[in-house]
Amino acid sequence: MLNSIQKALQALFNRNATPSVKGSVPRAAPSAEEAIIPFNPAEHAIQPQSLKRLIDNGHDIILLDVREAWEYEIVHLKDAKQISLGELPQQASLLNPYAEIAIYCHKGMRSLDAVYLLQQLGFKRVKSLVGGIDRWAREIDTELQRY
């Protein structure tokens, strides 16, 4: 009887083990590759003209500035919330994960990092402003200060 139980447990153990390593501990969590959600930057980008249209039409969208506080003080979009990229992992809980969020920085690189981070945290409706506030100032609101 004991031999039958041991065989059954061994069969169960081998079935749940990682395919390449029989007799190993069953996997309780996915690998890093399995856990990381695929990210295509083009799917998470918004052009300045498109964002302006949404704002002008009264679309309910949160503007998130992920630049440093000193950059925000120089120039920012009206009604934008400022959380620097470095603070975002700790401050993400202040944001609504179901809201539509347009993220911007100076030129558009940090905002892509922020979109990626928030996507990994479960945010579904996040977009990066292509070209950042610099492109916005060149194409949409030429009165904004550039730096």
24-70 tens-digit pLDDT: 444 555 565 556 667 777 889 999 999 999 999 999 999 999 999 99
- Asked whether residue 146 is domain-assigned, the answer is no
- Asked whether residue 144 is domain-assigned, the answer is no
- If you average pLDDT over every residue of the chain, what do you get? 85
Structural domain including 53 reads 40-139
Domain of 116, CATH number, reads 3.40.250.10
Question: In the prediction, which pLDDT does 62 show?
Answer: 98
Question: Cα Rg for the chain, rounded, in angstroms?
Answer: 23
Based on the domain organization, do 82 and 104 belong to the same domain? Answer: yes
What angle (nearest 5°) sits at the alpha carbon of residue 129, between those of residues 127 and 130? 120
Cα–Cα dist 77/56, whole Å: 13
What is the value of pTM for the model shown?
0.75
Based on the domain organization, do 89 and 26 belong to the same domain? Answer: no
Question: In the prediction, which pLDDT does 10 show?
Answer: 57
